[in-house]
Homo-oligomer: A and B are copies of this chain.
């Protein structure tokens, strides 16, 4: 008899309300867990100063993005505060098939589309320690007009209600601690009984 864990990749979705710090947490996680593959989203939102095409996002024009939708090249997409965001399908499927874990950092609307297509995925919801904290983070980002700030706060309130549809909740009190929790969730999921193979 030999005991081994299944060599099948996990699909891990990290989502949460606008401004909770998904990007910051996932960047830190990328340094801590280089063995994880990170899905790269496509978006029509203009790049922020530090963002690089093909690294942080695939930046697309609206017509390009609409063509991807038509060709069924996205496993989820959403329009969010006037911009499109989506996850290219092929890279996710190829990564999982090769036995690698893949992490998707996506908005709440999109995450639930992924849940329908990949019910075996691990769905992690990042929350702020408090709503005041969330508001402060969005303000500090300093990239929002007054209208888009109001939109984002409204959206965040709605998004927080989606917590019920997730498997795990990670409080983003400190980036380091949030990363450690996500790492622990991934390790634990690999230890689930269903993932063990006993062979002769």
Contact = CB atoms under 8 A, between A and B. Distances in A.
Query: How many identical subunits does the complex contain?
Result: 2
A160 B131 CA distance: 48
Contacts of A187: 180-181, 184-185, 188
A189 B184 CA distance: 9
Interface stretch (A29-37, A49-57, A73-81, A164-172): A164-172
Interface residues of A, number: 35
Main secondary structure of the interface of A (DSSP, over half): mixed
Interface of A: 1-5, 124-125, 127-131, 160, 163-164, 166-171, 180-181, 183-185, 187-189, 191-193, 195-196, 198
B184 A167 contact: no
A135 to B, nearest CB: 11
Which of A3, A5, A181 has most chain B Cβ within 10 Å?
Answer: A3
Contacts of A5: 171
Contacts of A2: 129-130
Given A163-B196, A163-B198, A187-B180, A171 B3 contact: yes
Given A1-B131, A2-B130, A130-B2, A193 B168 contact: yes
